[in-house]
Chain A
Amino acid sequence: MKNIKYIAIMALGLTACEPEFDNPVEDQQATFSPGTANFSKYVSIGNSLTSGYADGALYQHGQTNSFPNILAGQFSKVGGGIFTQPLMNDNLGGLLLGGNPISQNRLVLNADSTPVPMLGIPSNEVTNTLTGPFNNMGIPGAKSFHLLAPGYGDPAGISTGTANPYFARFASSTTTNALTDAISQAPTFFTLWIGNNDILGYATGGGVTSAQDPVDGDDITPTATFDFALNTIISNLDATGAKGVVANIASVTSIPYFTTVPHNPVPMDQATATATNTAYAGYNAILSGLSGMGAITSTEANSRKVNFFARLDNPVLITDESLTDISAIIVNPPFNVPVQQAALLAKLRPATAADLIVLPARAFIGTLADPANPNSVNGVGIPLADKWVLTPAEQAEISTAQNSYNNTISSLVNANPNMVMVDMKSYLDVLNTSGISFNGGTATSTYASGGAFSLDGVHPTAQGYSIIANKFITTINSEFGANIPTVLPSEYTTIFFE
């Protein structure tokens, strides 16, 4: 009995001796303020980056950690209202259209450290339309002009390529466009981040030129089209009187999708190098001959010559569309190269450090084009096709468009007193060069292990989105005189293991 008394006194003493800070962090709440902004109705407009897309899919965990949802959580401390999202039906993310899968499940890392789609039957039927409106209007795949396209959410248009399955899930009607659905919510505050897909599809496709198509094409959006779209979106948003933040377009070529596979991943022993060089000796002789004839410059001839060594880092062989097509010449005398072989050699050269190899090439380089032919190694016996490589010329096209888009964004936003620009390009350049540090860690753009990018190599992880949300918050704080706390990125997930 005496013991119980003793323990009770002890317990009292314990609560009395809890450590206390002079200025507990909980007291900061009183200093939070929305500044001149009003967050009671926040609407986010954009593409996959706004939707919370990650690991090659849109799934619930990613949506919960989308940067707009993180922002809304912080806005709620300064008068922010409810924030709704068109949540997927599961955490797998694969889409079904009429019961047929049209996109794969999210990627997870398996025990061999290979990203694979997560196992499971997805349940996200596109035609099961959700009842909106939803504050988060992020539509994966949307380009600038898509936000203005009527019928972009019509399920009937998905198979023909005039509509987007993600928007079809929650569009208010089959004829509406995304901007209308956003503005009809009467936002008091918005974020707009659009334009990445206007160059991204071209880039991830290795810079393959296709016919420009209003919805489906992967070409770079003409700058005039982009400028018109942005001007229309911003002037319509301006008419609502809402304040907002517009993000510019980050560089697409510094994401892990382009920086993970090196240009020189081909290992060879001496015997293989000798045999391969023997096989290409004729090609090298042809190049010298063509250069002597004046058909190609000697510079081009030298840049195209193939020479493998007994080492681990030989460059892969690629097809560069900017080179002179020599196939028509070399099928004739004195070269007499068989037609099929001449087609392979037409624009062949070894890759250099200036070429960017796309992430999916990781599982392609080294496989056999013809399983029966051991000489048909992709990247050695058969050059990588245009779609696997972003050559310097293609990179220049992309950065030219990106710079033009960003100039348009900054001049439109700077001319608008209700809007401020968040310079995501510069911020993510820092991420891609030195990494972004937070309390307890550093996020970098290294594939899988860097923390910032998900397994698709293009979209951020939840941690990456938290870092983006923090950049929005610090911009809002400085531009609208607000005091909104940032979030701690270490509390957010990165990649997932099977």
Chain B
Amino acid sequence: MKKLLSFVLFFLAGSTLYAGGYRVSIQGQKQLAMGHTGVAVISGAESTFFNPAGLSFLDGKVNVSLGASAIFSSVKFQSTADNYSSETESSVGTPAYLYASYKINDWLTFGLSVNTPYGSKVEWEKDWAGSHLVNNINLKAIFIQPTIALKISDQLSIGGGPIYVNGSVEFNRNLNTGSTSSTTGGRSNVTIEKKGISAWGYNIGLMLKPIEKLNIGFNYRSKVIMNAEDGEADFENISILADGKFNAELPLPAEVTVGLSYEFCEKFLFAFDYNFAKWSEYEALVVEFDNAAGTSTNLRNYNDSDTFRFGLQYKAFEKITVRTGVYFDESPVQDGYFAPETPRNDSVGYTAGLSYQVNKKLSIDASFLYLQFDETDNSYDWIDNGDGTYSSFGGTYKSSVFSPGIGISYKL
């Protein structure tokens, strides 16, 4: 068990943002291959995350799933009016997960989930044209969730558990356009960093099996407020501001998922999930410094966002199951609030994958995700000039994301 946990922690070294906001929807290879559906699919210990109630209907006494993905993402920016372009460092993120469940008896199942549903890593060219908004950001959060599932009848189960979150944030930006130190020539900038942020939330679910081949699922994951208190604020190339501390908080919004899965023609399974993410929680990134820099308010005014997910599974051979899916991911970012630290517009995710049944107990699960973004003309119009007026930074953004992943599932 300890080994498995350290595997997950190892892969935590940098989860990359890729979905709406800073949510990273890669929490299971089998689910991702089907468009990241899973609230009503019973296919392994991943249910601990997707819908704890699903654990009650798993075959076998013990289920373990373990996996990791590599997310390759990059963003380009250009401003035709300024004859200017820049791009982010192509980053490789590695979200990982570990799920385990243990069936005590017919009605009671325990589970554990360790995963990384939120994160963001964006690194622009240093001192690029939007550097007073962000040079780089690295946001990490690991979710640990002990879980209990209760089977109320053969048609109904419920489940849930508390979530312990441990996260860190590192963020660097230039203080304004242009200002410079005389000695080094480097531009004035600030880095804020806080490790070991703890927070709590919870996850509950319900599973209905009205008829034999149909599952209906419901899941609610509460919001988690990441509160960075007394973090380190490091001011560089500006002698009039001393290094100090900062306070800030970042919401990881609540998410509601409802969905269904339906088996047909013996070998096929269709799944549909609808996600509602309450991103409107994220009104502003407010950073309070304890020096003359004062309070920096960066308006975000995110919108709640919907995601529609469709997946299909086909048991092609006895040992091989193939999966595919598609999802429509709505960005929570409003026009005029398009900040380059989360440069994401609406996207369509295309997914595919397969499982190879090594033996009765063990299968290997692989998935591949390609996220298709249209280029978007957008701007962030709320750069505070300090005198009640605002400046705007904008241009054309184009993102590219793809992610291969691999995992194993074990059943006893």
Residue ranges of A at the interface with B (Cβ–Cβ < 8 Å): 10, 13-14, 17-26, 28, 61, 108-113, 118, 435, 437-442, 444, 446, 449, 451, 461-463, 485-498
Contact = CB atoms under 8 A, between A and B. Distances in A.
Interface residues of B, number: 53
Contact of B239 (A25, A110, A441, A491): A110
B295 interface: no
Contacts of B391: 437, 440-442
B177 A22 contact: no
A490 B182 contact: no
Given A13-B402, A492-B178, A19 B373 contact: yes
Contact of A25 (B74, B80, B181, B385): B80
A195 B33 CA distance: 72
Interface of B: 70, 72, 74-76, 78-85, 87, 90, 129-130, 132-133, 176-183, 185, 187-188, 237-240, 370, 373, 375, 383, 385-387, 389, 391-396, 398-400, 402, 404
B357 to A, nearest CB: 20
A54 to B, nearest CB: 12
Nearest to B83: A485
Given A441-B391, A461-B178, 20 more contacts: A10-B70, A17-B72, A18-B74, A18-B400, A19-B375, A21-B396, A22-B375, A24-B85, A28-B80, A108-B182, A111-B239, A442-B385, A462-B178, A486-B81, A490-B129, A490-B132, A491-B129, A496-B180, A496-B182, A497-B180
A13 B393 CA distance: 32
A494 B400 contact: no
B375 A25 contact: no
A447 to B, nearest CB: 13
Nearest to B84: A488
Contacts of B370: 17
B285 to A, nearest CB: 18
Nearest to A495: B179
Contacts of A20: 76, 398
A238 B348 CA distance: 62
Nearest to A496: B182
A114 to B, nearest CB: 10
13 contacts: A18-B74, A21-B76, A61-B185, A111-B239, A441-B178, A451-B179, A463-B177, A463-B178, A486-B81, A486-B82, A488-B79, A490-B132, A490-B177
Nearest to B399: A19
A382 to B, nearest CB: 32
Contact of A439 (B178, B239, B392): B392
A103 B206 CA distance: 80
Contacts of B177: 440-441, 451, 463, 489-490, 494
Closest 6 CB pairs of A and B: A485-B83, A494-B178, A490-B177, A19-B400, A440-B393, A441-B177
Contacts of B84: 25, 439, 488
B379 to A, nearest CB: 9
A445 to B, nearest CB: 12
Nearest to A111: B239
B74 A439 contact: no
Contacts of A486: 81-83
Name, among B83, B239, B402, the residue most crowded by chain A CB atoms within 10 Å (CB to CB).
B83
B162 to A, nearest CB: 37
Nearest to B373: A19
Nearest to B180: A493
A458 to B, nearest CB: 18
Nearest to B404: A10
B398 A17 contact: no
Contacts of A485: 82-83
B81 to A, nearest CB: 7
A492 B185 CA distance: 12
Nearest to A118: B182
Given A19-B400, A497-B238, A440 B80 contact: no
Contact of A451 (B72, B82, B178, B399): B178
Name, among B133, B180, B400, the residue most crowded by chain A CB atoms within 10 Å (CB to CB).
B180
A497 B398 contact: no
B303 to A, nearest CB: 24
Contacts of A439: 79, 81-82, 84, 129, 392-395
B176 A451 contact: yes
